[in-house]
Amino acid sequence: MPRFNDYKHKNAKFQTCFPWIRLARMVLTMLLLSLCLSGCRRQDPSAQISDVGFYFDTVVELRLNGTDDQNLIDKCFEKMGQYEALLSRTREESDVWRINHSAGEPVEVSDDTAALITLAEKYYELSDGAFDITVAPYVTIWDFQNNPGKVPAAASIAAARVHVGLSLLHLDGNTVTLDDPRASIDLGGIAKGYIADRLKEYLVSEGVTSGYINLGGNMLTIGTKPGDVPWNIGIRRPFGEASDVIATVKVDGLSVVTSGPYERYFEKDGTIYHHILNPADGYPVQNGLASVTILSESSADGDALSTSCFVLGLDRGLKLIESLDGVEALFITDDMKLHSSSGFPISD
Ligand code: AMP
Ligand code: MG
Residue closest to 101 by CA, chosen among 93, 113, 109: 93
**Rounded distance between C-alpha atoms, residue 58 and residue 339, angstroms:** 28
- Specify the pLDDT at position 35: 46
Q: 132 C-alpha vs ligand 1 centroid, how far in Å?
A: 8
Residues with CB under 5 A from ligand 2 (ion): 189, 303, 306-307
Centroid of ligand 2 to alpha carbon of 70 (angstroms): 29
The enclosing H or E element of 114 equals helix 111-126
Q: pTM for the full model?
A: 0.88
Atom of ligand 1 nearest to the CA of 278: 19
Best of 89, 117, 135 for a ligand 1 pocket test (most atoms within 8 Å of beta carbon): 135
Of all ligands present, the nearest one to the C-alpha of 276 is 1
Q: Which ligand is nearest to the CA of 310?
A: 1
CA of 304 to the centre of ligand 2 (A): 5
Nearest CA, atom 23, ligand 1: 189
Phi, psi angle pair for 324, to nearest 5°: -105, 145
Which amino acid is located at 135 in the chain? V
> Which of 131, 142, 276 should be mutated for ligand 1, with most atoms under 8 A from CB?
276
Consecutive 10-residue averages of pLDDT for the chain (348 residues):
35 43 55 47 79 96 97 98 96 96 97 98 98 98 95 97 97 98 97 98 98 96 96 96 94 97 93 97 97 98 98 98 98 97 85
pLDDT (0 to 100) of residue 272: 95
What's residue 242's pLDDT?
85
Torsion-angle region of 253 (φ positive above 0: left; ψ -120 to 50: alpha; else: beta): left
The Cα 313–Cα 130 span in angstroms is: 10
Q: Please enumerate in sequence order all residues whose Cβ is within 8 A of that of 90, keeping only pairs 6 or more positions apart, or say none.
A: 97
The number of the ligand nearest the C-alpha atom of 130 reads 1
**C-beta of 307 in contact with ligand 1 (< 6 A):** yes
Determine the distance separating the centroid of ligand 2 and the alpha carbon of 267, expressed in angstroms: 22
What count of residues does the chain have?
348
Q: Could you tell me which residues are beta bridge partners of residue 59?
A: 54
Shortest-distance atom of ligand 1 to CA 190: 3
Nearest ligand, CA 291:
1
